[in-house]
Structure 1
Amino acid sequence: MLNKWIKYECIRKNPRIRLFCLPYAGGNAMFYSKWSNNFSEDIEVYPVQLPGRENRIGEHAISEINELCDSIIYAIKPYLDIPFAIFGHSMGGIVSFELARKLAVKNMPLPKIIFISATVPPHILEKCEKTYNLSEKEFLKRLVGYDNINTEMFKFKEFYEYFLPTLRADFKVVETYKAAKEKLSCPIVVCGGNNDSFVPVEFLKEWNKYSEKEVQIKIFEGNHFYISNNVKELCSSIIQKNLD
């Protein structure tokens, strides 16, 4: 393992480009652990492991996006020696966008492209109701029906001790984010599910406000976690195509 911020990395003999993958709220690097199987031998996949999950379960999750992005940049800086791209799903999409923006501000290498998946664009996000600061009872109510949340977990002490604080911190990262007005100079590809009740297709189209280049929109069958049933197509026909 390269460092605690990178887990399940795929190291190639002669890499041409690296793809950093950022998780959804409450998610972890394991979500991307098999993605490398869908790419050619010159593309490295580096899942990013955030604090508060898996091998970092004993650490407090970071709830502020500036601190989170600065920490990620410090961690991945040694691996920006070749061209790279960033993929983020849901919360990971917001973090991916801000990460690219911060790299530009710091005059560091920029991603060749960023992939934003099932993510509400910042100007709409600012108008959404805040949930991270709700009482535990109300917060749990909001989680019921949220795609990929198994309410059976609510029965276990570990859920309240480890997972719930991390999930609440992740929600705060997203719900308190205010984007700068500058557009990114790097291309953006936006992906989503046609039955996503949290991020409808109309929202995805609004990402065209955030890049100086034309934003590609790719829609798949499925809900907010359409990605789980479309990994091969997403990786091979969408991501790899844009990395070539």
Structure 2
Amino acid sequence: MFERDRKSLSLYCFPCAGGSANSFLRWRTSLPPWIRIRPVELPGRGVKIREPLLRDFDAVVENLTQELVRESSDRCVFFGHSLGALIAYRCVYALRARRKGEPMALIAACSAAPCRRRDERLARLKTDEDLIGELVRLNGTPPELFKSKELLRLALDTLAADFAVCSSFSFKKREKLSLDIVVLGGRDDMIEEDALSAWREETLGQTALLMFAGGHFFFNENENVFFARLISELDRTSRASCRCDCVNR
């Protein structure tokens, strides 16, 4: 398939706790034109800075689903990092309930499977010192942020709200999804491989677990390796979809 003949694919990117859509904008320079990056913004940050931060998981899903119903297409993949993977997963169910169908695939990075969530530790991170310690541990925050009182205050308030969102998630068994799920993990991250592998319990489709050198933000530490593998997975998904389209005609 020549590049000019390839059908485009929209990659909806859901950020981690404390993150924003801006973290995905630079991906556009590292991915081919047929992959259209569509960053998903949570309330209270970025272009939604005037909206109040939400602290309830279901409220976040409802807020984002209203936008996705208007925007998402049949040829899209959801990518979620950490909390973003969990939100993306539940948005798939919310879209299906609205008879919008499922994305072509879900890519879940550094996120334990919904049935293996253990977020009690996050609920105990209450003080600014606790939250700063968590930012340092995760090693994904630009050093200059810690030098600005205003930016740090904004980051801590956002992180506290997102940790409340994590803590409010409640798992219950649902009818399994049918899409493929690709799970990405960092070998130095605290999330164990069996908690990542458990994503296979959420779908009737195929699942794959890919481990990378690095921690919770491994894709920043090994960009070239990560982008090459991401492109490969999206290419596989796109070609499989094209074959299905031909068979169903």
Q: Percent identity?
A: 25
2:202 counterpart residue number: 210
Unaligned 5+ residue runs, structure 2?
240-249
Change (3 A) 1:157 1:200: same
Shift of 1:110: 1.2
Change (3 A) 1:138 1:79: closer
1:54 aligns with 2:49: no
Give the counterpart letter for 2:205 in structure 1: K
Shift of 1:217: 0.8
Give the counterpart letter for 1:201 in structure 2: E
Shift of 1:73: 1.5
1:184 aligns with 2:174: no
1:5 counterpart residue number: none
Per the alignment, in what secondary structure is the counterpart of residue 53 of structure 2? Answer: coil
1:4 counterpart residue number: none
1:240 aligns with 2:232: no
Q: Which of 9, 12, 15 is the equivalent residue of 1:17?
A: 9
Shift of 1:187: 1.4
Whichever structure has more helix as a proportion of its residues is 2
**What aligned pairs does 1:33-112 form with structure 2 within 5 A after superposition?**
33-112=25-104
Contact 2:131 2:156 in 1 (8 A): no
Change (3 A) 1:200 1:126: closer
Bigger mean CA offset, 150-159 vs 88-97:
150-159
Q: Deviations over 1:30-83 (max 9, x none)?
A: 221132344443332211122222333333222212111111121122223442
Change (3 A) 1:233 1:16: closer
Aligned residues: 232
Change (3 A) 1:160 1:224: closer
Poorly superposed stretches of 4+, deviation over 6 Å: none
- Looking at structure 2, the residues matched to 95 and 13 of structure 1 have their Cα atoms a distance apart, in angstroms, of 33
- Looking at structure 1, the residues matched to 189 and 125 of structure 2 have their Cα atoms a distance apart, in angstroms, of 24
Change (3 A) 1:140 1:31: closer
- Looking at structure 2, the residues matched to 52 and 147 of structure 1 have their Cα atoms a distance apart, in angstroms, of 23
Q: TM-score, normalised by structure 1?
A: 0.83
Bigger mean CA offset, 44-53 vs 150-159:
150-159
Q: TM-score, normalised by structure 2?
A: 0.82
Bigger mean CA offset, 110-119 vs 200-209:
200-209
Bigger mean CA offset, 83-92 vs 32-41:
32-41
Q: Which of 172, 176, 188 is the equivalent residue of 1:195?
A: 188
Give the counterpart letter for 1:242 in structure 2: T
- Looking at structure 1, the residues matched to 36 and 62 of structure 2 have their Cα atoms a distance apart, in angstroms, of 22
Give the counterpart letter for 1:193 in structure 2: G
Contact 1:90 1:118 in 2 (8 A): yes
- Looking at structure 2, the residues matched to 127 and 149 of structure 1 have their Cα atoms a distance apart, in angstroms, of 21
CA RMSD of aligned residues (A): 2.6
